[in-house]
Amino acid sequence: TRRVLVGRSTDEGATFKAEAAIFEKSVGVCPCCGMAAHASRGGLAVLFRNELADVNRDTYLAWAPEGAPAKVVKVDAWTSDQ
């Protein structure tokens, strides 16, 4: 199953911790749909579509505040008519 991985730095990018899943729940990130991310001093936000079945492409928002576990919410449900 595809997941969103992130490598974090606490020293302005001089070094990075090992990559880790932004959240543990595996929702099957879609390989053909785009992904958007925004990082700031407050944390990291990632918007992506999942792929749990051949036609389901629900949209999720993952918010990983600096120094805290990520929170993931489904923001849209969508079924493709492929």
Look at residue 45 in the predicted model and tell me its pLDDT: 93
Look at residue 15 in the predicted model and tell me its pLDDT: 95
Interatomic CA distance for residues 45 and 59, integer angstroms = 13
- The string of pLDDT tens digits covering residues 65-79 is 887 878 888 899 888
Q: Is pLDDT of 82 > 70? A: no
Interatomic CA distance for residues 73 and 28, integer angstroms = 14
- The string of pLDDT tens digits covering residues 10-63 is 888 899 989 888 776 666 788 888 889 998 888 889 998 887 777 778 899 989
